[in-house]
Amino acid sequence: MTEASTALVEFLLARIEEDKRIAWLVASESPTTDTGFCVWATQFAFDPERMIVAIDYQRVLAECTAKRRIIDAFRAATPSTTTAETLEAVLRELASAHADHHDYQEDWRI
pLDDT at 32: 59
1 pLDDT more than 80? no
Structural domain for 18, as ranges: 3-108
pLDDT, tens digit, 9 for 90 and up, residues 30-84? 665 655 444 444 444 455 555 555 556 777 888 899 999 898 888 887 777 778 7
Burial-class residue 48 by CB neighbours within 10 Å (0-12, 13-18, 19+). Answer: exposed
The number of distinct structural domains making up the chain is 1
| pTM check: above 0.85 | no
Sign of CA dihedral 49, 12, 95, 99: negative
Report phi then psi at 53, rounded to 5. -80, 130
